[in-house]
Structure 1
Amino acid sequence: MLGIAHAAGPAAGAAGGFASFIPLILIFVVFYFLLIRPQQKQAKQHKAFLTDLKKGNKIVTKGGVHGVITGIADNVISLEIARDIVIKVSRDAVSGSLGKDGAPKKEGKKKSIGG
């Protein structure tokens, strides 16, 4: 009788083992849609922004330097930060573009949850 009880035990545990992984899988799916996917989308938009830079654009670097693009090479941008003062920065150092008033441009309308 005891032998039958031992033989039936592992079969019930195998189904319970898979069921214990379901919450972990659900947590991964939630993290993917709430954190990973939006970050990838934002990185893709920033890469497209960097490839669309052209002479005359007003930009700000990651270090906070504001200026106007005066020349573009492969990975180097000439940035005029004041009259007759031009510095060279890496294309990767560009953080965003500026509007006409010097304020950062809004990249798009954000969807509101409430309507």
Structure 2
Amino acid sequence: MLYAAGSGGGAGGLTPILMIALLFGVMYFMMIRPQQKRRREAEQMQSAIGAGDEVVTIGGLYGTVTGVDDETVLLEVAPGVQTKYARPAIARVVNKAERPEAVETVPEDAEPVKE
């Protein structure tokens, strides 16, 4: 009799584990994955900053990029006033500067390639 009563609860012990796994799965897709995507997009935006771009810092300061280093960005916030910021301090790019694309030039004295 004791044996028959204990065998019925085996499937019920698996349900809480599945619920916890489902909860972690939902949390991953609702919170962690979108946050990783936003961080990746921010890193791409910050690495693409160049001279002439108009940007906004995380503190709300608008400025024009005048110089870019590996870790810092030099902003002109007023005529003749330049300030230095860390790249992660740039929140967004307001206006992207027009940059000519790199054009491959061929020297004039070069002979054409024959196939």
Query: Does residue 43 of structure 2 align to residue 53 of structure 1?
Result: no
Deviation at 1:12, TM superposition (A): 3.6
Cα RMSD of the aligned pairs, angstroms, is 1.7
TM-score, with structure 2 as normaliser: 0.75
Alignment correspondent of 2:88 = 92
Report 1 or 2 for greater relative contact order, CA contacts < 8 Å, sequence distance ≥ 6: 2
Aligned-residue identity in percent: 33
Opposite residue 33 of structure 1, the aligned amino acid is F
Deviations along 1:26-48, whole A, 9 cap, x unmatched?
12111211111111111111111
2:14 and 2:93 mapped to 1: Cα distance?
50
8-17 or 70-79: which moved more? Answer: 8-17
TM-score, with structure 1 as normaliser: 0.75
Deviation at 1:10, TM superposition (A): 4.6
Opposite residue 95 of structure 1, the aligned amino acid is A
- 2:54–2:64 contact (8 Å) kept in structure 1: yes
Query: Does residue 11 of structure 2 align to residue 15 of structure 1?
Result: yes
Q: Aligned residue pairs: how many?
A: 96
Alignment correspondent of 1:26 = 22
Larger CA Rg, structure 1 vs 2: 2
Query: Does residue 64 of structure 2 align to residue 68 of structure 1?
Result: yes
13-22 or 44-53: which moved more? Answer: 13-22
Query: Does residue 74 of structure 2 align to residue 78 of structure 1?
Result: yes
Identify, as 1 or 2, the structure richer in helix. Answer: 1
